[in-house]
Chain A
Amino acid sequence: MTKHFTTSERFWADRRRLLGLLAGVVMASSVSLAVAQTGKETITVYTALEKEQLAPYKAAFEKAHPDVEISWLRDSPGVILARLLAEKDNPRADAVWGVPLMHLVSLEKLGMLEPYAPKEYEKLKPRFRDSKNPPSWTGMDTWMSLICFNTVEAKKRNIPAPETWADLAKPIYKGQITMPNPASSHTGYMAINHWKQSMGDKAWSFMDGLHENIALYTHSGSKPCKMAATGEYVIGISTDITSPQLKAKGAPIDIILPKDQTGWDIEATAIIKGTKKLKAAQELADFSVSKEANDQYNKFMAIVAYPGEFPTPKAYPSGAEAAMADQDLTASALDREALTTEWVKRYDGKSEPKSN
């Protein structure tokens, strides 16, 4: 027989130990991070900006508004939009600063944006203003589709630089082009949306020819330019968001704005409906249309919302403003599902990667 039987203390001590362990587990499970108190108002801002842009934008804003602090949540545009939609019934973001306008259109349809007219927003170029008053959003700058072209590999293979989108369907580029899949990437959608809007019904025959030349469809918008930068493939259809930075880092690429114009979207700011920090979010909206803010945008992007002359950023191709096609952003946003579905039906998963 064990001692266990004869002493109840032992038995209770055991049970206490067990309960203590359980309590400890429960307590450990409820550990939560306390955010440091600074006495300032902290607003949560969702963004799809490049991470290099976060620190300077935040510093400039906090200099102008010392009473408010920005807490960034940065991710790719798709993740940010998916998160905003999933959190719809109990929003966690106070504002968005630097997300594609086409995405904001769908949030607006769902009634998730708080209309507000920032101070002097009327100054902005018309393209960057919501037609409604008060506006649900204000624009910051444009980002656009373009072509990254690896000069070293092109020379090795004796391939000429393309000048227009139409050139990319020529047989000489067979197996040398990558582009983002419109079903995974907003950059990919921007490209096919422009072809559809600028070529009309001829767009599909162009894309048939292009599809023959595509070596890979990627899932990330910057990846085709990264692949061109390392010479993995000669040509990448991408955007001006990472391309100039890759070139500045020493990649042997030319950044080509096609002569037959190009598709674009706007990076925009908006206040999320239901925010408990409306005043601070409005301060952010005010700042985002100011000249100081636009000077910050201009360090990375060529075309900003504020009127007047702005210099071209480092490694950025000239003539960007002239290259912008006429397009209706709202229609583009509403057309997304149908156009993407059609594209998927025609091209997605039909072919294995072709080798060169």
Chain B
Amino acid sequence: MRDTIARDRRRRSPLLSESVLRLILTAVLLLVLVVLVLLPVGAILGKSLEDQNGAFVGLANFRDYLANPSLTRSIGNSLLLGLLTTTITASLAFLYAYALSRSCMPLKPLFRGIGLLPILSPSLLPAIALTYLFGNQGFLKDLLGSGSIYGLSGIVSAQVFYCFPHALMILVTALGLSDARLYEAAETLGASRSRMFRTITLPGARFGLISAVFVVFTIAVTDFGVAKVIGGQFNVLSIDIYKQVIGQQNFRMGAIVGVILLLPAVLSFGVDLYVRRRQTSMLGARAVVLVPRPRRGFDLVMLVVASVIAAFILLLVGTALFASFVSFWPYDLSLSLKNYDFSSYDAAGWSSYANSLKMAALTALIGTVCAFGGAYLVEKGPGPTLPRALYRGLAMLPIAVPGLVLGLGYIFFFNSTANPLNGVYGGLSILVMATVAHYYTVPHLMAVTALKQIDDEIEEAAAALGVAFWRTFARVTLPICTPTVIDIATYFFLNAMTTIGAVVFLYAPATKLASVAVVEMDDTGDTAAAAAMAVMILLTAAAVKVIQMFLTSVIVARTQAWRRRGEGDLIDDVGHASSVA
């Protein structure tokens, strides 16, 4: 009976229930972001308006802050660090992504894997490696002349290493999907290669490039792990937060620095809105996917460029690997496996590792569903604009919130007896929630970048034919974006394996994580064992990657048939962008 009524109603207005469902789903995802991001961040930022005893004092704390020259100096230092890191990382990542998606250089899967290595390593790893290479006892110390690695040069080198994959993933997504017909037309009209680059490639990748720039900038200024180990006296905002919160338990001042660090995110949200209005999709319903053609000279240049970048990454990873086998650097360079006997360094040795795997798997599952689903709902199809704008803003927020600040916010928000959710505190779920929230922005941008490149006319045609939006999603959108979805899941997984800042306040005795164990071992002088555990995390992640690449190639072969051109079974390389992460 009800079926009949529903069918009748549906016949009369096929869009009603759909739009209601859309709205409900959007509201659910918005609620998820409000609970996971907005309220905890609000809980800690509220502290910036209170005095020690919790009384409201308005902006008095900000006045104190601005009156302290040693704290305000950090603002300039952070800007300098952010600009340097961003310029270097974005240029290198763009070149690398361009080589991967537009050239026919050999060994692409290998280069992809190397390009992502840094994301597999805890942030301590580049810092330890740089110390071994360029510290006072380092192998390459003479290259620095009279300079020191402890300070700006060290932070920038380690940050470039650390941020590279984040930028690379966004840029590969941006360069991976483009319409070959544009290039064919340009070629027919006799446009030069550089002109095509300026008028087709760059505008098409503009959104991704701007996203990548903001992502790298915010990661560089908010991450404290690298700066803590190798920053020397170069004071930056993230280190000030560390000093205030961990060194002096002054949550108010920590919150104030946190507010200052939110500014780049607000700025990026504004720029994002501006760019969005001008972004056009590259992949119409009749698009033909670009397949790079071999050009010897260009391919050779790209191969050289990619090799140089890959060599830098391998040098640092290789040094850390070496460090994990050395008995007592630098006085006893004999190699041994004793650093891998974790039980002698840390009672929880392998259980923390199992916790990390569990936590990372859940984070990947839940994070991917929310990030991709949310991006789809706000980017495609009809619906009111306000919830969309809110969602976009909230999705951009987490990257600007330093892990320490987010973690504290989680304590204040979830550990309150007034919060009905306080049961999650102390379990694995709060770690998953915090990690999903902490790493939400880049997957959101990856999903948006991929979805933007699919022309809306596909959705419109489907809607005109009366196909429900979730069928279009399942039949068209999701298959086209399968590689990106897999990238997103991998991104969440890998970051969850190595995260430190957000979880250091949230793990319970039973839910200690491997990444925390790495910091602990380094803290207590077992640098080699810390390097060994970091290498273990790296190897596991690499193994996951290989399995995932294998699965992807099967899925891609089944879902990406539309990418094929002409005869034969040549699957376009872009389809393999999936193996990027």
Segment of B142-150, B187-195, B556-564 engaged in the interface with chain A: B142-150
- Please state if A4 and B468 are interface contacts (CB–CB under 8 Å): yes
Q: Does B425 contact A (CB under 8 A)?
A: yes
Q: How far is the CB of A143 from chain B (nearest CB, A)?
A: 14
- Known contacts A2-B466, A225-B525: does B131 contact A219 (CB below 8 Å)? no
Which stretch in B210-218, B240-248, B481-489 binds the other chain?
B240-248
Chain A interface bracket (under 10, 10 to 19, 20 to 34, 35 or more): 35 or more
Contacts of B242 in A (CB 8 A): 184, 219
Say yes or no: B234 contacts A76, CB within 8 Å.
no
Contact status B509-A71, CB under 8 Å: yes
Interface pair B3/A355, CB less than 8 Å apart: no
Chain B interface: which of A80-88, A254-262, A263-271, A322-330?
A: A80-88
Q: Give CA–CA (A250, B343) in the complex, Å.
A: 20
In the complex, whether A198 has a CB less than 8 A from a CB of chain B is: no
Q: Which residues of A from 231 to 259 have beta carbons under 8 Å from B? A: 231-233, 242, 245-246, 249-252
In contact, B235 and A5 (Cβ under 8 angstroms): no
A131 interface contact, C-beta 8 A: no
Are B415 and A90 within 8 A (Cβ)? yes
User: Within 8 Å CB of A75, what residues of B?
Assistant: 504, 516, 520
User: Are the CB atoms of A216 and B233 closer together than 8 Å?
Assistant: yes
C-alpha spacing A22/B423, complex, angstroms? 22
* A32 close to B (CB within 8 Å): yes
- Per a CB cutoff under 8 Å, which of B233, B246, B370 touches A79? B246
Q: Which residues of chain B (456-506) have a CB below 8 Å from chain A?
A: 465-468, 470-471, 504-505
CB-defined contacts of A202 to chain B, threshold 8 Å: none
Complex CA–CA separation, A352 to B77 (angstroms): 12
Contacts A51-B347, A231-B136 given; does A226 touch B246 at CB 8 Å: no
* A33 within 8 Å of B (CB atoms): yes
Q: Is the CB of B347 within 8 A of A4?
A: no
CA distance A129 to B242 in the complex (A): 32
Q: Which residue in chain B gives the minimum CB-CB distance to A231? A: B137
CB <8 Å contact, A181 and B428: no
Q: How far is the CA of A235 from the CA of B153 in the complex (A)?
A: 24
Hey, which chain B residues are within 8 Å of A72, CB to CB? 509
The CB with the most chain A CB atoms within 10 A, among B233, B329, B424, is that of B233
Contact yes or no, A83 B505, CB < 8 A: yes
Cβ 8 A contact of B505, one of A86, A226, A245:
A86
A28 partner, pick from B249, B365, B408, beta carbons under 8 A: B365
Complex interface residues of chain A between 254 and 290 (CB less than 8 A to chain B):
none
Most buried by A among B150, B362, B521: B150
Q: Mask for A195-223, Cβ within 8 A of B = 1, else 0?
A: 00000000000000000000111011010
What residues of chain B lie closer than 8 Å to A89, measured between beta carbons? 415-417
A183 contacts B by Cβ under 8 Å: yes
With A and B bound together, what is the CA distance between A83 and B506 in angstroms? Answer: 9
The answer to the question of B524 belonging to the interface, with a C-beta cut-off of 8 Å to chain A, is: yes
Residue of A nearest to B28 (CB): A22
- Asked whether B151 lies within 8 Å of A51 as measured between CB atoms, the reply is no
Contact B362 A222 (CB under 8 A): no
**Do residues A348 and B331 form an inter-chain contact, with CB atoms below 8 A?**
no
- Distance in Å: Cβ of B53 to nearest Cβ of chain A: 10
**From residue 29 to 53 of chain A, which have CB atoms closer than 8 A to chain B?**
29-33, 35, 44, 50-52
Give the residues in chain A near B432, CB-CB below 8 Å: 29, 31
Asked if A331 is at the interface of the complex by the 8 Å CB criterion, the answer is no
Q: Are A11 and B415 in contact (CB under 8 A)?
A: no
Min Cβ gap B399→A in Å is 22
Interface string of A307-343 (1 = CB under 8 A from B): 0000000000000000000000000000011001000
Which chain A residue lies CB-closest to B137? A231
Q: Mark A161-190, 1 if CB is under 8 A from B, else 0.
A: 000000000000000000001111100000
Given the complex of chains A and B, what is the CA–CA distance between A196 and B330 in angstroms? 36
Instruction: Evaluate contact between A344 and B362: CB separation under 8 angstroms.
Output: no
B residues near A183, Cβ cutoff 8 Å: 243, 247-248
Indicate with 1 or 0, residue by residue over B536-565, a CB within 8 angstroms of chain A CB atoms: 000000000000000000000000000000
Which B residues touch A242, using CB under 8 A?
524-525
Q: Quote the shortest CB–CB distance from A37 to chain B (angstroms).
A: 12
For the complex with contacts A82-B249, A89-B416, A229-B525, 9 further pairs of A-B residues with Cβ separation under 8 Å are A4-B468, A33-B428, A35-B510, A79-B504, A181-B243, A185-B247, A216-B233, A340-B248, A349-B73
A-B pairs with beta carbons under 8 Å apart, 5 shown: A74-B520, A82-B246, A183-B248, A232-B137, A251-B328
Residues of B within 8 A of A (CB): 3-4, 6-7, 10-11, 14, 21, 28, 68, 70, 73-74, 131, 135-137, 146-148, 150-152, 228, 232-235, 239, 242-243, 245-251, 327-332, 345-347, 362, 365-366, 369-370, 408, 411-412, 415-417, 422-429, 432-433, 465-468, 470-471, 504-505, 507-511, 516, 520-521, 523-525, 527
A binding-site residues for B, Cβ under 8 Å: 1-2, 4-5, 8-9, 11-12, 14-15, 18, 21-22, 25, 28-33, 35, 44, 50-52, 54-55, 71-76, 78-79, 81-83, 85-87, 89-90, 92, 106, 152, 181-185, 215-217, 219-220, 222, 225-226, 229-233, 242, 245-246, 249-252, 336-337, 340, 344-345, 348-356
Closest 3 CB pairs of A and B: A78-B246, A349-B235, A184-B247
